[in-house]
Structures are given as C-alpha cells and as structure tokens.
Amino acid sequence: MRPDDSVDTIKGIGDKTRSLFEKLDVNTVGELLTFYPREYETFSYPVKIKELVPGRVGAVEASLSNIKSIRKGNLDLLTCTAKDSTGIVDLAWYNQSYLKSSLSVAYHYIIRGKVVKKGKFLRFEQPKLYKREEYLSLMKTLSPIYPLTAGLTNNAVKKAVKQALVLAEDVPEYIPADIRKKYKLLKKGTCLNEVHFPKSEETLCDAKKTLIFEEFFLFALFLREMSGKKETLKSPHIFKNDEICNKFIAGLPFELTRDQMNTFEDIKKDTSSGRVMVRLIQGDVGSGKTVIAELAALLATASGAQACVMVPTEVLANQHYEDFKKSLEPLGVKVDILTGSLKASDKKGARKRAEEGETDILIGTQALIQDSVAFKNLGLVVTDEQHRFGVNQRLTLSDKGNIPHVLVMSATPIPRTLAMMLYGDMDISVIKEMPKGRLPIKNAVVGAGYHEAAYKHIERELSAGHQAYVICPMVEASELLDAKDVTSYKDELADRFKGYEVEMLHGRMTPAQKDEIMGRFASGEVKLLVSTTVIEVGVNVPNATVMMIENSERFGLAQLHQLRGRVGRGNAQSYCIFFYEGNDENTKERLNVIGNSNDGFFIASEDMRLRGPGDMFLGLRQSGEFELKVGDIFRDADILKLATEEANALSDSKRSEILEETLRNGGKTMFAFFKAYASI
C-alpha cells in the first residue's frame, strides 16, 4: 500500500464506501492520512442522576429495573429504569430489543448518552452501558469524531485510518530539522498518529502545533515565491480612460465614501502602471465593495478589454448580473451571465459572445473556469468573496487572458499585520467606512431563557412584512453534542410560526438545492430561513431584518460578524440576537464584544486577543479561508508569525527545494494550488 493508492486498497472499503469517501474529497490513502477529526469525544466522570442536565450528554452509575420490550407498529421499544441514591432516570432504545438479554438488574452500570426531558421525567435515549473498569479506562482517551456524509459511519472511518497509519512514518518532512528542533516540533509521522488517536490532550496539542506550523510554513513559502514572480510580471493591459467612470460615479444615487474613492485610485494606479495588478479589497460586510468591482470592470471595458466577475453562488451571480445591467448598460456596456443552471443553448450563446468579444463583462460562478470558456481580450478578473475560491481557481481564470489584472474581494476583516502575512502575494486596499445613512444593527447577547421573547420579536418583524434568519451550528441532532440543529429546529419553528413559509438550508444540500432555497428567500417567498453557516456568504436580502444565532459560543467572533452581515442591508432597523449556553465568564466577555460593536476590524482583533494564540484545544476546525485544514489565523496567530519568519529567512534555493518536494508528492500534500502555480 502506497500514499497515492486509491482509498479502496484499504481492507473493508469497496466501491460503495469509496464513493462515500470521494464525496469528502478523500480519494487516496495519503489523503485519508490528512483527513483529520473535526473534534474528539471525551468521557467525563459519572455524576449523580439529580445532576443530569436535559439536552446534554451525561453519565451516571446506577442499577437497572423494570426491563421491558414493547412493540408499537413497526417500532421495537426497549425500556428500563435506572436508579441511584439521588433519583431515577428512564432508558430507551429504539429497534434494539436484542439488547434485553444482555441487561442485568443485579449489576451496576455506567450509563452514558444524551439526556432528554419527557414530561416531568428525564430519559437517556439510545444510551451505551459500560462496566466500571471499561468506562474508567475510556476516561483516559480521546476518541476521534470525523466529518461524515450520509451512509458513512464514524467507526468505518476510524478503521480505515488505523490501516492507513502504517504509512505514517514514511510521510515526507517539509520543515527543516533545525527549525523542528528550535520549536520542539514533532516528526510528521508521530503527528499523524497523535492527531487521529491521541494518547492525551497534551500529546494532541503538540501534534496540532506541529501540523499548524507546517501548514503556515508552506503557505508562507508559497506566498514568498508568488510575490517574487508577481513583481516581474508585466501586463499588456493598460487602463487609462476613466472618463466614463467619472460619469458613472456622478450618476450614483449615493456618495462614495473616502475609503471607496481611495481604493478606486489604487486600482487606477495599478492598472496603468504596466505591471500586473494583484490587489485585495478588504472591506467590512456592507461597506460597498461591489460598486468598486463595477468601477474596475467599467475601467477595463473603457480601455478595450473584457472583464469577468466570479462569485460563489448562482443566486449571487444573478443578483450581480441584474445590478450590473441596470447601472452599466445605459453607458453602452454589454453585460452577460454564465452559470451552471442555464440551458445548454444559453450557455453556448454566452460562451460564444465572450469569445467573439461581444460581451464586455461576464458574470458567473465556477462555470467560468471550465475549459470551454474563452475570451477575446480578457483584461480583468474579479473574484468576489475570495475565501470561497481557492488560489487554484483564481489562477485558472487568469489563464483565460493574456496576463489580466486580478482583483479579489473579501469581507473577512483581518488586522493589517496579519493580512500582510496572509496575503503576501497581493497589494491590499481597506474599506472601513460604512455608507452614509445605514442604520447600525441592534444586538442582544442572551441566555436560553429569552427564547420566547426572541420568538415574539421575530413574529413582529414577520408580521411587518420583513424576513428573518435563524442560524444553528449543526445539520442534525447529535448524541454527543448539545447544540441546536437545523433539521429538527426547522420543524419546531414551522410549528411556532404557522402562516409563514419556513425553510432550511445546510451544506449537505446540492448547489442547485441551496440556490433554489436562497432564491425563494431572496424573492420573499420564504419568510424564515433556518440555516447553518452556509449563508455566511450569500445573496443580498435587504428585507431581512432579524438574525437569531443559536449556540453563539461555538463560533468565532469574526464568523459571527460575517453572519450578522446578512441583515442590516436595507432601510429598516435590523437586529441580531446571539444566544449562548452555559455561564462561563470568558464566553460572556467574548460575546459581549460583538454585542457592543458592529466594527468588523475591531471584532477581529478582539477575537484574536480573547481566543488567545495559546488556546490550542478548541477542536480541529476546517476553515474555508486560505484553504487551511488545521490552522486558524486568529487562534494560531503566534504560530503564523513564527512560521512566516522562518520561511522568509530561508535562502531562495532552499525555499524552491521544499516547494518542489511538495510537488513531487502530488502537489496536494498541503495546498492544491502548488501545481497550478508552478505552471505560471
């Protein structure tokens, strides 16, 4: 077995399981090694029955009585009662009546599972029973929980990973030995074993520290290499005719802010210099980045070049298309659209018009990067919401023109010193000022006891003709995690808000399903949208005035701010309600930052300060931003700084040697875009 072998070379993985792994972007044994757990299950010390908390996972030591097996239609129900010195709790298993023969009233078990409240009584549903010695041994372990897809179990992933780990010691090292020694980093093989099956929290932290350092180290090497090449790259596209842009600005129904004007001046300077522009516009949510994209595209067309704008969703593409057409076609600019859901004949027509130069500005989704799409004279590439696209996709789009200028836009507020490390290949413009007349969002940070008041507030807004979002951290209910989930909460809210269309949205849906639901919400048909964080980057719905976020303690402040940015886009007063669980003072302090401020840059800085770069045991959180698998730019800011310094201190030859090694190992070892970049 080798790292580049198909994942189905592992014992127990057939065609069906292989296809399930492929849905998770795990195609080879090597990719399985870096398919990291999203969190870890821990086994806490048993409590007394009276101390159990409904909605949470708990464990008690108790004896059983009243063991019964009942059949209700097609459902087998096995029940019993557990008792200790402080009270009783019911146990229930569905369609597991075979367990009855293994249960004994003469034995004290440790019972573990999610606790629910049924009327006046507490119940464990689908609990697991352990002998005391067995459970106490589990208390010393951390059991991995992997990202899954329907049909693939966590146990199946664990078994496959254990087999793949025989290759761990042969995985290449990318961090030079002297740097590993300097920062007491582990060998890569040890890291892989520890991150999948940690011996302790301490060894897991050490492994994660090494993997995070390696990720940032390679990222910094790549950016340093890319930045050096950019400086020597000339562009044949010189944009100097800005008269039509001045006419466009004069006709706007609002006045551009100082930051917007400064950003446009940066773009004009770049695109008239003879060097290729690779510029990031970093602007807070709602700060007016889209109008700058329009101006940049207009500047390109006025100079005889074409522009294209790539956005992450079809709904957003359609919205941009309508906005650009309305404002630019009166100036003689031809705007077109290309998305995956268009009819074949419409796609063919859009491609033909772009290739023949009839289209000045083409707006679309990832359909733009298909091989069949070509341009007559592409001079500007704009990608909206940069962190939803990999650098690989951005470069593929750039390849469709003769060294076009590149403009990327991100609504992720990052402190400038951090941005300089993360975007080393780009020049940066920042838009902090908000458009005049925009009403600040009113915020409330509250505990679970305020739900009824929140529901009444949402009902008042819905009855006034507005719309609302409700955000949950999970798609489905879990026995292991005490958190709101979209699936069951949607049904609960549909029952609560009868007479209003309630819909749900989550990442397991197909792109077509997500676009259809977002389209219905944007049109006003859906009044209440229950969603995971997939709406973090979404369509502009000015009529949405309320966002309620459940389990806010599970999100970073920067992400909460991005979510909040979905409301407050119209003229009506908007509101954001942050619910949190527990009484932890640090949680309250952190959430009060966002409750008291709408400034994304301030919030991002506080997020980094409060979460703390030393707080390593927050769970492995996959981040769409910067294509990182392990690192978190806020939590791990100190590691990012050290890794960047070490990468920059290497000689050019050593840097090239390490990057070439990553390519020899498939180019996907750390970042999918290495190979694409190597072809520039």
Decide if 611 is inside a domain. no
Residues in the chain: 680
Question: Using CB atoms within 10 A of its CB, is residue 272 exposed (0-12), middle (13-18) or buried (19+)?
Answer: middle
Quick one: 252 and 390 in the same domain?
yes
Question: Using CB atoms within 10 A of its CB, is residue 189 exposed (0-12), middle (13-18) or buried (19+)?
Answer: middle
Encode burial over 534-568: b for 16+ CB neighbours within 10 A, e otherwise: bbbbbbbbebbbbbbbbbbbbbbbbbbbbbbbbbb
Find the CATH number of the domain harbouring 36. 1.10.150
In which residue are the tokens 């007559």 written? 376
Quick one: 585 and 458 in the same domain?
yes
Quick one: 267 and 328 in the same domain?
yes
Phi-psi region for residue 538, left (φ > 0), alpha (ψ -120 to 50) or beta?
Answer: beta
- Residue-level pLDDT at 525: 95
Decide if 607 is inside a domain. no
Q: Alpha helix (H) ranges present in 74-131?
A: none
- Residue-level pLDDT at 619: 26
- Residue-level pLDDT at 44: 87
Q: What is the pTM of this model?
A: 0.61
Quick one: 503 and 527 in the same domain?
yes
Find the CATH number of the domain harbouring 568. 3.40.50.300
- Residue-level pLDDT at 421: 64
Decide if 148 is inside a domain. no
- Residue-level pLDDT at 416: 63
- Residue-level pLDDT at 176: 94
Into how many domains does the chain fold?
5
Decide if 604 is inside a domain. no
Quick one: 481 and 577 in the same domain?
yes
What residue ranges of the chain have pLDDT lower than 50?
386-391, 479-480, 612-627, 668-680
Decide if 676 is inside a domain. yes
Question: Using CB atoms within 10 A of its CB, is residue 140 exposed (0-12), middle (13-18) or buried (19+)?
Answer: exposed
Quick one: 383 and 324 in the same domain?
yes
- Residue-level pLDDT at 442: 95
Decide if 391 is inside a domain. yes
State how far the Cα of 114 lies from the Cα of 56, in Å rounded to an integer.
5
Quick one: 524 and 647 in the same domain?
no
| Residues in CB range of 260: below 8 A, 6 or more apart | 288, 291, 292, 431, 433
Expressed as residue numbers, the domain containing 628 is: 171-232+620-680
> How many H helices and E strands in the chain?
23, 20
Amino acid letter, residue 640? L
CB 248 within 8 A of CB 298: yes
Decide if 437 is inside a domain. no
Amino acid letter, residue 350? A
Quick one: 405 and 267 in the same domain?
yes
CB 321 within 8 A of CB 356: no
Quick one: 414 and 547 in the same domain?
no
State how far the Cα of 524 lies from the Cα of 440, in Å rounded to an integer.
23
Decide if 498 is inside a domain. yes
Quick one: 60 and 209 in the same domain?
no
Residue 491 host element (H or E): helix 486-496
